[in-house]
Structure 1
């Protein structure tokens, strides 16, 4: 059992681990830490405290304030995009907002790479906690006829494409942009997508029963639909004509259709 000393780093959803994957003690002031999912650090009582933060190489970091105001916190600290000595400073006011991002997400700064450094110039006058999470990069669009945003939370990314393609082509389109066709594991997630793009569009999802009739599978995560959240429209899935093996979300519920139909689609990227 690791001997916990006065806590300036609080574990949030995972153990704070070193670059070698071993659990480590929370340092009193600063240090190098690896973010598996999320951590929380408290502002130190010392000045000149320096944290080097890193996560897996194909992900970025997002920093928000759990207590206090991130914009006001810039009086006490700087957040650098990278861990190098000359890494640029990230400023809340300079962060661009995606067209379809939720408006109720907390103030945040995003890195452009998998490393960041947080340098406290002086100790805050009030309690300040910073939440640091692993996130995916989110493009502002995937070319023409598309919209992207932090639709569900601050770490994931969703892009709608309004160029109609069949199911296989939309799957390839998402993959070509380092994303996957959307999965819907909860009503909250589905409603967040509808809030961004309304129920008027018909979007392909990754749910199909092409491998085995009646066995619906989220192809993007290779998980079975049942047991799990489902929102089929009345009398669906119907398999009308015997070839309705792909699911789209339409008018607020799910319908099975032939995979050869051409529809819009939602791509997702999740840490």
Structure 2
């Protein structure tokens, strides 16, 4: 079953791994361009003014601000929604769900196996991006702190589990992938907006931790909130799949 899930998701993985690679390489190129402008005293071209208007202390600060707080979450959240949106909906659409349910395996085990494959693929893409950034840091003679990078990568993966669980839940409710993806992204966006309106909600967010380069204490509260937000839709998906009639 695990191999089947990986093979079914291979094109999604390749596409989003490529997007993550391009975004990571783009961040490195922008950083180099910004450092060149600082050294030469030239003004940025109009196309890049918005990308280089913020001061950059070093490569580490640039990575936290541009990848972990901006590009990384956007790519990983979208990847998680697309990945989770088809886990059950595609099986129901093609009729293979009946073959799965005919096996002497509980529904909970089937769903958890699909979910675990999704979490593994998300982790693989997240680690690949961080590895590229780490290798670039070595090439630029500005190495990233390994422990901090591992923590940031783990937190990014944890955040991506939220839309993955939501998409899995909606893929049980709906018979098409598109609605599952759209609804999971809408709920994820709503959860992000809630932190903006809560008192001191920004301090509880992962964005605050990443932009602070994790120089502050470990974002324990933000991690717990993300963990709960990831587990709740998974539990809801398990209950819904147990009662769903096919």
Task: Return the TM-score normalized by structure 2.
Answer: 0.22
Structure having the higher Rg = 1
> If each structure's helix is expressed as a fraction of its own residues, which one has the higher value?
2
For CA contacts below 8 A with separation 6 or more, give which structure has more relative contact order: 2
> If each structure's strand is expressed as a fraction of its own residues, which one has the higher value?
1
